[in-house]
């Protein structure tokens, strides 16, 4: 698939078919992830690939708890309506973790120490684009408590679980989210 097409037309879906995804397909997606740039090429990412049904059920339970807690705190109506049961149906969830010590020069700056997260986000974007190019839907999910996810997935305390990337065949209507016009976002210093 053409790169411009993948970037511009990547569609999302709020649900997934439970149909399994080949491990070779997952590997293609992860090879794309580790091709992202990172501070001084320190490659601060690690991945936990979850296909185990019990583990998915525990992630669902945690996400649903978090969702309820978030609604209490925020009062946001979409959170009240948000159904996270897709976490049980989706065939693959990839937990992307970062190593906070691999953050490069920003460890010396105020508000810094987050460049490892930027690298992991670039890796995630590569995953989403690659999944789309392979006919799969994907979803960048962050509604969880990091300590709970560390416990469920047996992740070391010094690693930062940044996102759960859900990947599977689309289980509903695909949509492109609209964007504000570029002109509202750009200033030129010519």
Residues 146-175 that bind a copy of itself (CB under 8 A): 146, 153, 162-163
Residues 126-145 that bind a copy of itself (CB under 8 A): 126, 128-130, 133, 140, 142-143, 145
Does 74 participate in binding a copy of itself (rule CB under 8 A)?
yes
Q: Distance (Å, rounded) from C-alpha 159 to C-alpha 96?
A: 10
Does 83 participate in binding a copy of itself (rule CB under 8 A)?
no
- CA 121 vs. chain centroid, Å, equals 8
The CA-based angle 137-26-135, given to 5 degrees, is 30
Query: Which of 21, 90, 119, 136 touches a copy of itself (CB under 8 A)?
Result: 119
Query: Which of 115, 164, 165, 167 touches a copy of itself (CB under 8 A)?
Result: 115
Contact range with a copy of itself by CB under 8 A, out of 69-77, 83-91, 166-174: 69-77
Contacting residues for 41 by C-beta, under 8 A, at least 6 apart: none
- Closer CB to a copy of itself, residue 17 or residue 55? 55
If binding means CB under 8 A, how many residues of this protein chain bind a copy of itself?
79
Do 87 and 159 contact (CB within 8 A), yes or no?
A: no
């Amino acid at each position: 698939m053409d790169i411009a097409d993948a970037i511009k037309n990547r569609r999302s879906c709020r649900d997934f078919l439970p149909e399994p995804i080949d491990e070779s397909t997952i590997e293609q997606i992860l090879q794309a992830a580790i091709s992202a740039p990172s501070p001084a090429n320190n490659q601060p990412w690690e991945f936990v690939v979850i296909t185990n049904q019990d583990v998915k059920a525990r992630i669902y339970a945690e996400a649903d708890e978090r969702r309820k807690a978030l609604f209490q705190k925020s009062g946001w109506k979409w959170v009240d309506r948000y159904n996270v049961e897709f976490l049980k149906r989706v065939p693959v969830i990839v937990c992307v973790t970062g190593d906070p010590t691999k953050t490069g020069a920003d460890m010396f700056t105020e508000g810094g120490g987050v460049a490892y997260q930027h690298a992991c986000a670039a890796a995630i974007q590569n995953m989403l684009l690659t999944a789309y190019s392979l006919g799969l839907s994907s979803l960048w999910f962050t509604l969880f408590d990091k300590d709970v996810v560390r416990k469920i997935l047996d992740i070391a305390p010094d690693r930062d679980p940044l996102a759960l990337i859900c990947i599977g065949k689309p289980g509903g209507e695909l949509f492109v989210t609209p964007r504000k016009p570029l002109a509202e976002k750009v200033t030129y210093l010519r």
